[in-house]
Amino acid sequence: MTDITLGCFGILESFKNWEVSCEPSLSDHRYILFNLVGSILIHLIRNPRGTNWDSFREGLKGRLEQGPEMNMIDEAGLGLSIRFVQQVVISAYEDSCLLQPVNTGKFSLK
């Protein structure tokens, strides 16, 4: 029987402190332990389908109630009020729709 190890060219430098473990593996092979040096590129997205809309509405309402009194008499006051509402909506959405890793099936060492 032959064992085959697959890898990509140039990854060897990323493996540090490897050793064969004496721990039982419930197999006729032993575990190989190592440290992977570097970072793995992970893409995170928000999927609107996973949004907790009840939490969004509660968070939005609470933030708007705690906000400053909005003075929309002049252009400056209107601009500040718009900016505040935008930030409140974005914050409530981000709290109710968490970032999730995208499963691309590929890993990049950098």
Q: Which residue has the higher pLDDT, 41 or 53?
A: 53
Mean pLDDT of 49-72: 92
Q: Is residue 74 part of a domain?
A: yes
Whole-model pTM: value is 0.57
Best CA proximity match to 22, nearest among 32, 11, 10, 13: 32
Report, as an integer, the average pLDDT of 32-58. Answer: 88
End-to-end CA distance of the chain: 35
Domain that holds residue 96: 44-101
Inside any domain, residue 80: yes
Query: For 67-104, how does the pLDDT look when each residue is reduced to its tens digit (9 = 90+)?
Result: 888 887 888 889 998 999 999 999 999 999 999 988 76
Q: What is the pLDDT of residue 57?
A: 97
Tell me, yes or no, whether 72 lies in a domain: yes
Total tally of structural domains belonging to the chain: 1
